[in-house]
């Protein structure tokens, strides 16, 4: 099993595209290429040749570069079988429970509906890397653009079952805004307070806060913490089931976004 060499490319306002390089086989995949030019530039800088595109879901800020990259490089495009009609240029369809091998680097594919119906993630176990698109963010989660809160909660529960040392390669730099909301529902969480200080310091210097570790998300991401008594108290839902509490946290985040119009997810 080969470990991936992972390169992060910040594009557009707050998107991250990743290059996944499998050195033994000489393969390189672009994960959710929102655009093509910065990806081609990064490939040139690295001296890597694009062989694949891996998509998590159909939104344009994830597939926008697909066709131009395919035309420029002849790469093979991998995406969700259930969303094949809206993944531009798709060649290989994958679904829940399948393995996708980028040379010797093995990804477990999981279907995680909620943000969109056909959202999938790629978990490269041996590289401790989860490419989760817009499902889980640092201190946040995706908005419900097609799915239900129940679907997204079930999906997040699947991801929470992965090891603590899993690096969460999400698709957006939303961390600071997410953390501001997180503090509003769990101000007494010391791990959260200290994480936010680190995040603020990094963002002041323009440094990326992604990836984070799943263990860190467990301790600080309010969407993974419906069992926190402080959160339950803050939102006025004591001793209810996790789904009801998660749903209310998601509702509150939507209201928070509406007030702070610079926030999207």
Q: Which does 111 bind (CB under 5 to 8 A by kind): Fe ion, Zn ion, none?
A: none
Nearer to Zn ion, 52 or 59 (CB): 59
End-to-end CA distance of the chain: 35
Region binding Zn ion by CB under 5 A among candidate stretches 126-134, 155-163, 190-198, 256-264: 126-134
Phi, psi of 41, rounded to the nearest 5 degrees = -65, -45
Q: Which of 61, 128, 151, 248 binds Fe ion (CB under 5 A)?
A: 61
User: Exposed, middle or buried: residue 258 (CB in 10 Å: 0-12, 13-18, 19+)?
Assistant: exposed
Peptide bond just before 75 cis, omega within 30 deg: no
Catalytic member of 36, 57, 58, 119: 57
Q: Does 32 bind Fe ion (CB under 5 A)?
A: no
Which candidate in 21, 36, 58, 61 is catalytic?
Answer: 61
| 115 is a catalytic site residue | yes
Report in angstroms how near the CB of residue 83 gets to Zn ion at its nearest.
12
d(CA 89, CA 141): 28
Q: Taking contact as CB under 5 A, which single stretch among the options 122-130, 134-142, 225-233, 243-251 is the one that binds Zn ion?
A: 134-142
Min dist. Cβ of residue 56 to Fe ion (A): 9
User: Which residue matches tokens 């610079």?
Assistant: 262
Q: Which of 52, 58, 62, 119 is catalytic?
A: 62
Interacting positions 18-77 with Zn ion (CB under 5 A): 59
Per rule CB under 5 A, is residue 217 in the interface with Fe ion? no
Q: How wide is the angle at C-alpha 125 spanned by C-alphas 57 and 175, nearest 5°? A: 55
Q: Do 20 and 4 form a contact (C-beta atoms < 8 A)?
A: yes
- Does residue 62 carry a catalytic annotation? yes
Identified catalytic residue from 32, 83, 128, 134: 134
Q: Is 134 in the site for Zn ion (CB under 5 A)?
A: yes
CA pair distance 135, 204, nearest whole angstrom: 26
Angle formed by the axes of helices 190-204 and 175-185, nearest 10°: 150
Per the CB < 8 A criterion, the answer to whether 95 and 81 are in contact is: yes
58 has catalytic annotation: no
Using CB under 5 A, which of the segments 69-77, 78-86, 134-142, 161-169 binds Fe ion?
134-142
C-beta of 134 vs 248, nearer to Fe ion? 134
The conformation of residue 225, written as its DSSP 8-state character, comes to -
Catalytic residue among 52, 115, 119, 128: 115
140 Ramachandran zone, left/alpha/beta (phi>0; psi -120 to 50): beta
Catalytic residue flag (residue 134): yes
The count of chain residues that interact with Zn ion, using the rule CB under 5 A, is: 2
How would DSSP label each residue in 6-68?
EEEEEETTTEEEEEEEETTTTEEEEES-S-SHHHHHHHHHHT----EEE-S---HHHHTTHHH
Residue 200 is a catalytic residue? no
In the complex, the residues that contact Fe ion under the rule CB under 5 A are 61, 134
- Active site positions, annotated: 57, 59, 61-62, 115, 134, 172
**Residues in the site for Zn ion, rule: CB under 5 A?**
59, 134
């Amino acid at each position: 099993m080969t470990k991936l060499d992972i390169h992060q490319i910040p594009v557009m306002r707050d998107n991250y595209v990743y290059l996944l390089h499998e050195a033994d086989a000489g393969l390189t995949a672009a994960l959710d290429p929102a655009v093509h030019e910065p990806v081609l530039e990064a490939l040139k800088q690295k001296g890597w040749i694009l062989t694949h595109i891996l998509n998590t879901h159909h939104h344009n800020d994830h597939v926008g570069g697909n066709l131009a990259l395919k035309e420029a490089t002849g790469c093979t495009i991998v995406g969700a079988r259930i969303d094949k009609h809206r993944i531009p240029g798709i060649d290989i369809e994958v679904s829940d429970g399948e393995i996708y091998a980028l040379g010797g680097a093995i990804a477990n594919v999981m279907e995680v509906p909620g943000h969109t119906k056909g959202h999938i993630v790629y978990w490269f176990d041996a590289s401790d890397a989860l490419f989760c698109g817009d499902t889980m963010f640092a201190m946040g989660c995706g908005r419900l653009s097609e799915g239900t809160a129940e679907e997204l909660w079930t999906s997040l529960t699947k991801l929470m079952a992965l090891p603590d040392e899993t690096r969460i390669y999400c698709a957006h730099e939303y961390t600071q805004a997410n953390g501001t909301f997180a503090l509003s529902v769990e101000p007494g969480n010391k791990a959260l307070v200290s994480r936010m200080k680190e995040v603020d310091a990094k963002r002041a210097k323009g440094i990326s806060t992604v990836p984070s570790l799943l263990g860190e998300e467990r301790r600080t991401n309010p969407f993974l913490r419906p069992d926190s008594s402080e959160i339950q108290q803050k939102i006025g839902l004591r001793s209810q089931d996790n789904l009801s509490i998660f749903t209310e946290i998601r509702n509150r985040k939507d209201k928070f976004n509406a007030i702070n119009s610079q926030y999207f997810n």
